[in-house]
Homo-oligomer: A and B are copies of this chain.
Amino acid sequence: MKIYNFSSAPSILPAEVYERAAKEAMNYKGKGVPVTELSRSCAEYEEIIDSACASLRRLLSLPKGYTVLFVAGGAIDQLPAIAQNLMSEHKVADYVITGQRSKAAEQEAKKYGDIAIAAVSAGASPPYSTIPELKRSSFRPDADYVHINYNSTIYGTKFPQIPETGNIPLVADMSAVLLTEPFDMSKFAFVYCDCEQNISPSGMTLIIMREEFLTNSKDKAPTTFSYKKLAERAANIQTAPIFNIYMANLTFEWLESIGGIDEIKRRNERKASLIYDYIDSQSYFTAPVDKKCRSMMNVVFTSNDSSMDKKFIKAAAKEGLINLGGHPFVGGMCASIYNAMPYEGVERLVSFMRKFAQENPKIDA
A133 at the interface (CB under 8 A from B): no
Among the 9-residue stretches A88-96, A196-204, A274-282, A295-303, the one with 4 or more Cβ atoms under 8 Å from chain B is A196-204
Query: For window 3-57 of chain A, which residues contact chain B by CB distance below 8 Å?
Result: 3, 5, 7-13, 18, 22, 26, 31-34, 36-42
A284 to B41, CA, bound (A): 26
For A39, give the chain B residue with the smallest CB separation.
B7
A34 touches B18 (CB 8 A): yes
A243 to B246, CA, bound (A): 14
A129 at the interface (CB under 8 A from B): no
Q: Which residue, of A33, A39, A202, has the highest number of chain B Cβ atoms within 10 A?
A: A202
For A340, give the chain B residue with the smallest CB separation.
B37
Complex partner residue of A77 from B26, B73, B108, B203, CB under 8 angstroms: B73
B80 touches A224 (CB 8 A): yes
A38 to B12, CA, bound (A): 9
Chain B residues with Cβ below 8 Å from A104 are: 223
B202 touches A320 (CB 8 A): no
Given contacts A238-B74, A240-B202, A322-B33, is CB(A108)–CB(B10) below 8 Å?
A: no
A8 to B37, CA, bound (A): 10
B34 touches A202 (CB 8 A): no
Chain B residues with Cβ below 8 Å from A18 are: 26, 34
B323 touches A202 (CB 8 A): no
Chain B residues with Cβ below 8 Å from A34 are: 13, 18
Query: For window 60-109 of chain A, which residues contact chain B by CB distance below 8 Å?
Result: 72-74, 76-77, 79-80, 104, 107-108
A223 to B320, CA, bound (A): 37
Chain B residues with Cβ below 8 Å from A244 are: 203
A239 touches B3 (CB 8 A): no
A156 at the interface (CB under 8 A from B): no
User: Nearest-CB distance from A331 to chain B (Å)?
Assistant: 13
0/1 interface trace, chain A 206-245, chain B, CB 8 Å (1 if under): 0000000000000010111000000000000111111110
0/1 interface trace, chain A 103-125, chain B, CB 8 Å (1 if under): 01001100110000000000000
A258 at the interface (CB under 8 A from B): no
A239 touches B322 (CB 8 A): no
B203 touches A243 (CB 8 A): yes
For A239, give the chain B residue with the smallest CB separation.
B202
A12 to B42, CA, bound (A): 15
A194 at the interface (CB under 8 A from B): yes
A280 to B343, CA, bound (A): 66
User: Nearest-CB distance from A160 to chain B (Å)?
Assistant: 27
Given contacts A18-B26, A77-B224, A204-B203, is CB(A3)–CB(B33) below 8 Å?
A: yes
A74 to B230, CA, bound (A): 13
A325 at the interface (CB under 8 A from B): yes
A365 at the interface (CB under 8 A from B): no
A40 to B53, CA, bound (A): 28
A11 to B112, CA, bound (A): 38
Given contacts A73-B72, A77-B224, A224-B80, is CB(A37)–CB(B5) below 8 Å?
A: yes
Q: Which residue, of A31, A77, A107, has the highest number of chain B Cβ atoms within 10 A?
A: A77
